[in-house]
Amino acid sequence: MSAPGSLRRNQVICFTLVWVSYCATYFLRKPLGVVKTDIARDLGLSKTALGWCDTALVLPYAAVQILLPSLSDMWGPRAVLSSCLGLAGVSTYLTYTLWSDSVYTLCLGLAITGGLLAPCWPACTASLSSWFPDNRLNSMFGLINTATYSGGLGGTALAAALLEWSGWRSVALPPAIMAVVTATLVSLALRTPTEKGVLVPGKTTQTPQEKIASLSESQSLLSLAKIPCVPQLATSLFCLKFVRYCMALWLPLYLLEHLGYSKLQAGMFSTVFDIGGIVGSPLLGYLLDRHYTTAPLLGVTLTMMGGTVATALFVVTAQWGVLFNAVCLLVAGAANCGPDSILAGSVSMEVG
Protein backbone atom coordinates (compact mmCIF):
# COMPACT_ATOMS: atom_id res chain seq x y z
CA MET A 1 0.00 0.00 0.00
CA SER A 2 1.25 3.48 -0.84
CA ALA A 3 1.91 6.22 1.70
CA PRO A 4 -1.01 8.65 2.28
CA GLY A 5 1.13 11.56 1.09
CA SER A 6 1.84 9.86 -2.22
CA LEU A 7 -1.84 9.08 -2.73
CA ARG A 8 -2.91 12.63 -1.93
CA ARG A 9 -0.28 14.12 -4.24
CA ASN A 10 -1.39 11.94 -7.15
CA GLN A 11 -5.04 12.74 -6.46
CA VAL A 12 -4.28 16.47 -6.64
CA ILE A 13 -2.36 16.03 -9.90
CA CYS A 14 -5.16 13.97 -11.45
CA PHE A 15 -7.91 16.34 -10.31
CA THR A 16 -6.04 19.42 -11.55
CA LEU A 17 -5.25 17.97 -14.98
CA VAL A 18 -8.77 16.62 -15.48
CA TRP A 19 -10.34 19.91 -14.35
CA VAL A 20 -8.19 22.05 -16.65
CA SER A 21 -8.68 19.63 -19.56
CA TYR A 22 -12.45 19.63 -19.35
CA CYS A 23 -12.46 23.39 -18.82
CA ALA A 24 -10.47 23.72 -22.05
CA THR A 25 -13.10 21.78 -24.01
CA TYR A 26 -15.65 24.49 -23.19
CA PHE A 27 -13.29 27.23 -24.28
CA LEU A 28 -13.32 25.46 -27.65
CA ARG A 29 -17.08 25.04 -28.04
CA LYS A 30 -18.36 28.27 -26.47
CA PRO A 31 -17.38 30.83 -29.15
CA LEU A 32 -20.04 29.59 -31.58
CA GLY A 33 -22.87 30.80 -29.36
CA VAL A 34 -21.30 34.25 -29.02
CA VAL A 35 -20.40 34.98 -32.66
CA LYS A 36 -23.63 33.80 -34.32
CA THR A 37 -24.82 37.26 -35.31
CA ASP A 38 -21.54 38.14 -37.01
CA ILE A 39 -21.32 34.79 -38.80
CA ALA A 40 -24.86 35.27 -40.10
CA ARG A 41 -24.04 38.77 -41.34
CA ASP A 42 -20.72 37.91 -43.02
CA LEU A 43 -21.85 34.66 -44.63
CA GLY A 44 -25.47 35.68 -45.28
CA LEU A 45 -26.96 32.90 -43.16
CA SER A 46 -30.51 32.54 -41.89
CA LYS A 47 -31.27 31.38 -38.36
CA THR A 48 -32.08 27.96 -39.82
CA ALA A 49 -28.57 27.78 -41.27
CA LEU A 50 -27.15 28.84 -37.90
CA GLY A 51 -29.09 25.98 -36.37
CA TRP A 52 -27.39 23.60 -38.78
CA CYS A 53 -24.04 24.94 -37.57
CA ASP A 54 -25.07 23.98 -34.05
CA THR A 55 -26.09 20.55 -35.30
CA ALA A 56 -22.74 20.13 -37.05
CA LEU A 57 -21.02 20.59 -33.69
CA VAL A 58 -23.24 18.55 -31.38
CA LEU A 59 -24.40 15.68 -33.61
CA PRO A 60 -20.90 14.17 -34.11
CA TYR A 61 -20.30 14.73 -30.41
CA ALA A 62 -23.33 12.62 -29.53
CA ALA A 63 -22.68 10.03 -32.24
CA VAL A 64 -19.11 9.33 -31.15
CA GLN A 65 -20.12 8.99 -27.49
CA ILE A 66 -22.91 6.57 -28.41
CA LEU A 67 -21.10 4.50 -31.04
CA LEU A 68 -17.60 4.50 -29.50
CA PRO A 69 -18.19 4.45 -25.74
CA SER A 70 -15.13 2.38 -24.82
CA LEU A 71 -12.25 4.33 -26.34
CA SER A 72 -10.77 5.07 -22.90
CA ASP A 73 -11.01 1.40 -21.93
CA MET A 74 -9.23 0.33 -25.12
CA TRP A 75 -6.51 2.99 -25.38
CA GLY A 76 -6.32 4.44 -21.88
CA PRO A 77 -7.71 7.78 -20.66
CA ARG A 78 -4.37 9.62 -20.95
CA ALA A 79 -3.88 8.78 -24.63
CA VAL A 80 -7.50 9.51 -25.53
CA LEU A 81 -7.74 12.79 -23.61
CA SER A 82 -4.40 14.23 -24.75
CA SER A 83 -4.80 13.33 -28.42
CA CYS A 84 -8.46 14.33 -28.77
CA LEU A 85 -8.07 17.60 -26.85
CA GLY A 86 -4.97 18.65 -28.79
CA LEU A 87 -6.49 17.83 -32.19
CA ALA A 88 -9.73 19.59 -31.22
CA GLY A 89 -7.71 22.74 -30.49
CA VAL A 90 -6.16 22.60 -33.95
CA SER A 91 -9.50 21.95 -35.69
CA THR A 92 -11.17 24.79 -33.79
CA TYR A 93 -8.50 27.24 -34.93
CA LEU A 94 -8.83 26.09 -38.55
CA THR A 95 -12.65 26.31 -38.36
CA TYR A 96 -12.67 30.01 -37.47
CA THR A 97 -9.81 30.98 -39.79
CA LEU A 98 -9.01 28.97 -42.92
CA TRP A 99 -12.40 27.24 -43.06
CA SER A 100 -14.55 30.26 -42.21
CA ASP A 101 -15.34 31.58 -45.72
CA SER A 102 -18.11 29.08 -46.47
CA VAL A 103 -20.91 27.61 -44.38
CA TYR A 104 -19.99 24.15 -45.69
CA THR A 105 -16.36 24.27 -44.58
CA LEU A 106 -17.43 25.95 -41.34
CA CYS A 107 -19.83 23.09 -40.61
CA LEU A 108 -17.15 20.56 -41.54
CA GLY A 109 -14.73 22.10 -39.07
CA LEU A 110 -17.40 22.19 -36.36
CA ALA A 111 -18.23 18.52 -37.03
CA ILE A 112 -14.57 17.50 -36.72
CA THR A 113 -14.26 19.48 -33.49
CA GLY A 114 -17.42 17.93 -32.04
CA GLY A 115 -16.27 14.41 -32.87
CA LEU A 116 -12.87 15.01 -31.29
CA LEU A 117 -14.35 16.51 -28.11
CA ALA A 118 -16.72 13.58 -27.57
CA PRO A 119 -14.24 11.14 -25.95
CA CYS A 120 -12.87 13.79 -23.56
CA TRP A 121 -15.54 13.51 -20.86
CA PRO A 122 -15.47 9.67 -20.68
CA ALA A 123 -11.67 9.87 -20.42
CA CYS A 124 -11.98 12.47 -17.65
CA THR A 125 -14.45 10.34 -15.67
CA ALA A 126 -12.27 7.24 -16.06
CA SER A 127 -9.20 9.08 -14.78
CA LEU A 128 -10.96 10.77 -11.90
CA SER A 129 -12.90 7.72 -10.69
CA SER A 130 -9.75 5.60 -10.62
CA TRP A 131 -8.06 7.87 -8.07
CA PHE A 132 -10.84 8.45 -5.51
CA PRO A 133 -12.78 6.08 -3.23
CA ASP A 134 -16.32 5.21 -4.22
CA ASN A 135 -17.91 7.02 -1.25
CA ARG A 136 -16.39 10.35 -2.38
CA LEU A 137 -17.30 10.23 -6.05
CA ASN A 138 -20.45 12.39 -5.75
CA SER A 139 -18.43 15.18 -4.18
CA MET A 140 -15.54 14.81 -6.61
CA PHE A 141 -17.77 14.82 -9.69
CA GLY A 142 -19.60 17.82 -8.27
CA LEU A 143 -16.28 19.63 -7.97
CA ILE A 144 -14.93 18.51 -11.33
CA ASN A 145 -18.05 19.68 -13.11
CA THR A 146 -17.31 23.24 -12.02
CA ALA A 147 -14.89 23.02 -14.97
CA THR A 148 -17.91 22.87 -17.27
CA TYR A 149 -19.25 26.21 -16.19
CA SER A 150 -15.90 27.80 -15.44
CA GLY A 151 -14.91 26.97 -19.00
CA GLY A 152 -18.27 28.17 -20.22
CA LEU A 153 -17.93 31.43 -18.33
CA GLY A 154 -14.33 32.01 -19.39
CA GLY A 155 -14.92 30.91 -22.98
CA THR A 156 -17.98 33.12 -23.36
CA ALA A 157 -16.32 36.18 -21.80
CA LEU A 158 -13.17 35.71 -23.87
CA ALA A 159 -15.11 35.24 -27.11
CA ALA A 160 -17.26 38.30 -26.39
CA ALA A 161 -14.18 40.43 -25.73
CA LEU A 162 -12.33 39.20 -28.83
CA LEU A 163 -15.46 39.69 -30.93
CA GLU A 164 -15.74 43.29 -29.75
CA TRP A 165 -12.06 44.08 -30.29
CA SER A 166 -10.95 42.13 -33.36
CA GLY A 167 -13.86 40.29 -35.00
CA TRP A 168 -15.27 36.78 -34.93
CA ARG A 169 -12.43 35.11 -36.83
CA SER A 170 -10.05 35.90 -33.94
CA VAL A 171 -11.97 34.03 -31.23
CA ALA A 172 -10.31 30.61 -31.72
CA LEU A 173 -6.58 31.25 -31.27
CA PRO A 174 -6.36 31.61 -27.44
CA PRO A 175 -8.63 28.57 -26.76
CA ALA A 176 -6.68 26.51 -29.30
CA ILE A 177 -3.36 27.35 -27.62
CA MET A 178 -4.87 26.50 -24.22
CA ALA A 179 -6.10 23.13 -25.52
CA VAL A 180 -2.78 22.14 -27.11
CA VAL A 181 -0.75 23.14 -24.02
CA THR A 182 -3.15 21.28 -21.70
CA ALA A 183 -3.07 18.18 -23.92
CA THR A 184 0.72 18.19 -23.73
CA LEU A 185 0.63 18.37 -19.91
CA VAL A 186 -1.90 15.53 -19.77
CA SER A 187 0.29 13.38 -21.98
CA LEU A 188 3.29 13.99 -19.74
CA ALA A 189 1.77 13.87 -16.26
CA LEU A 190 -1.58 12.03 -16.08
CA ARG A 191 -1.21 8.47 -14.81
CA THR A 192 -3.47 5.73 -13.43
CA PRO A 193 -3.04 4.20 -9.95
CA THR A 194 -1.78 1.01 -11.59
CA GLU A 195 0.91 2.91 -13.52
CA LYS A 196 1.99 4.71 -10.35
CA GLY A 197 1.85 1.57 -8.20
CA VAL A 198 -0.65 3.20 -5.83
CA LEU A 199 -3.50 1.40 -4.07
CA VAL A 200 -6.61 3.55 -3.58
CA PRO A 201 -8.55 2.55 -0.44
CA GLY A 202 -12.32 2.18 -0.76
CA LYS A 203 -12.34 1.25 -4.45
CA THR A 204 -14.42 -1.62 -5.81
CA THR A 205 -12.06 -3.46 -8.12
CA GLN A 206 -12.80 -5.75 -11.05
CA THR A 207 -10.90 -8.86 -11.99
CA PRO A 208 -9.33 -8.92 -15.48
CA GLN A 209 -12.03 -11.36 -16.59
CA GLU A 210 -14.79 -9.02 -15.38
CA LYS A 211 -13.22 -6.06 -17.20
CA ILE A 212 -13.02 -8.03 -20.45
CA ALA A 213 -16.62 -9.18 -20.09
CA SER A 214 -17.95 -5.67 -19.33
CA LEU A 215 -15.97 -4.18 -22.23
CA SER A 216 -17.33 -6.70 -24.74
CA GLU A 217 -20.87 -6.24 -23.47
CA SER A 218 -20.62 -2.44 -23.67
CA GLN A 219 -20.20 -2.65 -27.43
CA SER A 220 -23.90 -3.47 -27.81
CA LEU A 221 -26.29 -0.52 -27.53
CA LEU A 222 -29.15 -2.94 -27.00
CA SER A 223 -27.39 -4.52 -24.03
CA LEU A 224 -26.78 -1.06 -22.56
CA ALA A 225 -30.46 -0.16 -22.90
CA LYS A 226 -31.38 -3.30 -20.95
CA ILE A 227 -29.31 -2.32 -17.91
CA PRO A 228 -31.66 -1.20 -15.09
CA CYS A 229 -32.00 2.59 -14.82
CA VAL A 230 -30.19 3.31 -18.10
CA PRO A 231 -33.32 4.41 -20.07
CA GLN A 232 -34.40 6.71 -17.24
CA LEU A 233 -30.86 8.06 -16.84
CA ALA A 234 -30.56 8.70 -20.58
CA THR A 235 -33.89 10.53 -20.67
CA SER A 236 -32.96 12.73 -17.72
CA LEU A 237 -29.59 13.62 -19.23
CA PHE A 238 -31.22 14.37 -22.59
CA CYS A 239 -33.50 16.92 -20.92
CA LEU A 240 -30.64 18.50 -18.98
CA LYS A 241 -28.38 18.70 -22.04
CA PHE A 242 -31.24 20.09 -24.14
CA VAL A 243 -31.64 23.04 -21.77
CA ARG A 244 -27.88 23.52 -21.37
CA TYR A 245 -27.11 23.58 -25.08
CA CYS A 246 -30.01 25.92 -25.77
CA MET A 247 -28.53 28.30 -23.22
CA ALA A 248 -24.98 27.85 -24.46
CA LEU A 249 -25.71 28.27 -28.16
CA TRP A 250 -28.69 30.65 -28.27
CA LEU A 251 -28.87 32.67 -25.04
CA PRO A 252 -26.49 35.45 -26.23
CA LEU A 253 -28.52 35.85 -29.44
CA TYR A 254 -31.79 35.92 -27.44
CA LEU A 255 -30.42 38.61 -25.13
CA LEU A 256 -29.17 40.60 -28.12
CA GLU A 257 -32.22 40.48 -30.39
CA HIS A 258 -35.16 40.14 -27.99
CA LEU A 259 -34.06 41.91 -24.81
CA GLY A 260 -32.02 44.70 -26.40
CA TYR A 261 -28.60 43.95 -24.90
CA SER A 262 -25.48 45.05 -26.78
CA LYS A 263 -23.16 42.37 -28.21
CA LEU A 264 -20.69 42.68 -25.35
CA GLN A 265 -23.46 42.85 -22.74
CA ALA A 266 -25.22 39.79 -24.19
CA GLY A 267 -22.01 37.76 -24.22
CA MET A 268 -21.03 38.74 -20.69
CA PHE A 269 -24.50 38.49 -19.15
CA SER A 270 -25.05 34.98 -20.54
CA THR A 271 -22.25 33.85 -18.20
CA VAL A 272 -24.66 34.24 -15.25
CA PHE A 273 -26.00 30.78 -16.16
CA ASP A 274 -22.43 29.44 -15.97
CA ILE A 275 -21.81 31.15 -12.62
CA GLY A 276 -24.87 29.38 -11.24
CA GLY A 277 -23.43 26.10 -12.52
CA ILE A 278 -20.11 26.73 -10.76
CA VAL A 279 -21.97 27.10 -7.45
CA GLY A 280 -24.58 24.39 -7.98
CA SER A 281 -22.33 21.51 -8.98
CA PRO A 282 -20.13 21.19 -5.87
CA LEU A 283 -23.01 22.22 -3.59
CA LEU A 284 -25.26 19.42 -4.82
CA GLY A 285 -22.42 16.89 -4.59
CA TYR A 286 -21.80 17.92 -0.97
CA LEU A 287 -25.49 17.81 -0.06
CA LEU A 288 -25.93 14.36 -1.59
CA ASP A 289 -22.96 12.91 0.29
CA ARG A 290 -24.10 14.59 3.51
CA HIS A 291 -27.90 14.31 3.53
CA TYR A 292 -28.92 11.92 0.72
CA THR A 293 -26.36 9.14 1.08
CA THR A 294 -28.97 6.39 0.75
CA ALA A 295 -31.17 8.12 -1.84
CA PRO A 296 -29.03 10.48 -3.98
CA LEU A 297 -31.50 10.37 -6.88
CA LEU A 298 -34.15 11.97 -4.65
CA GLY A 299 -31.92 15.01 -4.15
CA VAL A 300 -31.19 15.12 -7.89
CA THR A 301 -34.91 14.95 -8.71
CA LEU A 302 -35.80 17.80 -6.36
CA THR A 303 -33.00 19.94 -7.83
CA MET A 304 -34.18 19.29 -11.39
CA MET A 305 -37.71 20.33 -10.42
CA GLY A 306 -36.34 23.59 -9.02
CA GLY A 307 -34.40 24.17 -12.25
CA THR A 308 -37.55 23.63 -14.31
CA VAL A 309 -39.38 26.30 -12.32
CA ALA A 310 -36.46 28.73 -12.60
CA THR A 311 -36.18 28.28 -16.38
CA ALA A 312 -39.92 28.85 -16.81
CA LEU A 313 -39.74 31.99 -14.67
CA PHE A 314 -36.89 33.32 -16.80
CA VAL A 315 -39.12 33.12 -19.87
CA VAL A 316 -42.12 34.66 -18.11
CA THR A 317 -40.17 37.51 -16.48
CA ALA A 318 -37.71 38.17 -19.35
CA GLN A 319 -39.00 41.73 -19.88
CA TRP A 320 -38.89 42.64 -16.18
CA GLY A 321 -35.28 43.79 -16.19
CA VAL A 322 -31.73 42.72 -15.48
CA LEU A 323 -32.26 41.73 -11.85
CA PHE A 324 -35.01 39.20 -12.61
CA ASN A 325 -33.01 37.88 -15.57
CA ALA A 326 -29.94 37.39 -13.41
CA VAL A 327 -31.70 35.65 -10.50
CA CYS A 328 -33.57 33.22 -12.76
CA LEU A 329 -30.49 32.39 -14.83
CA LEU A 330 -28.38 31.90 -11.70
CA VAL A 331 -30.82 29.43 -10.16
CA ALA A 332 -31.43 27.68 -13.49
CA GLY A 333 -27.68 27.24 -14.02
CA ALA A 334 -27.17 25.83 -10.52
CA ALA A 335 -30.09 23.44 -10.86
CA ASN A 336 -28.96 22.27 -14.31
CA CYS A 337 -25.26 21.78 -13.71
CA GLY A 338 -25.61 20.00 -10.36
CA PRO A 339 -27.78 17.11 -11.58
CA ASP A 340 -25.83 16.93 -14.84
CA SER A 341 -22.54 16.37 -13.03
CA ILE A 342 -24.00 13.70 -10.75
CA LEU A 343 -26.00 11.78 -13.37
CA ALA A 344 -23.25 11.90 -16.01
CA GLY A 345 -20.55 11.16 -13.46
CA SER A 346 -20.91 9.11 -10.29
CA VAL A 347 -24.40 7.71 -11.06
CA SER A 348 -23.37 6.60 -14.56
CA MET A 349 -20.24 4.96 -13.19
CA GLU A 350 -22.31 3.10 -10.60
CA VAL A 351 -24.94 1.96 -13.10
CA GLY A 352 -22.26 0.55 -15.35
* Crossing angle (nearest 10°) for helices 146-166 and 322-342: 130
**Least confident window among 42-51, 69-78, 267-276, 339-348:** 339-348
SS3 226: coil
Total Cβ atoms within 10 A of residue 338: 30
Give the start-end residues of each E strand in 48-159. Answer: none
> Alpha-carbon distance 218 to 237, whole Å?
19
Q: 283 falls in which pLDDT band (50, 70, 90)? A: confident
pLDDT digits (tens, 9 = 90+) for 148-169: 878 888 888 899 889 888 889 9
Is the predicted pLDDT of residue 350 greater than 80, yes or no? Answer: no
DSSP state, residue 259 = S
Helices vs. strands in the chain: H and E counts, helices first: 20, 0
For residues 124 and 18, is the Cβ–Cβ distance under 8 A? yes
> Alpha-carbon distance 139 to 282, whole Å?
6
Is the predicted pLDDT of residue 345 greater than 70, yes or no? Answer: no
Q: Specify the pLDDT at position 212.
A: 46
pLDDT digits (tens, 9 = 90+) for 7-20: 888 889 999 999 99
> Alpha-carbon distance 14 to 191, whole Å?
8
Which residues, including other chains, have CB under 8 Å from residue 52's CB and lie 6 or more apart? 103, 107
**Which residue has better confidence, 238 or 214?**
238
Considering the entire predicted model, what is its pTM?
0.75
For residues 314 and 332, is the Cβ–Cβ distance under 8 A? yes
pLDDT digits (tens, 9 = 90+) for 215-229: 454 456 666 667 777
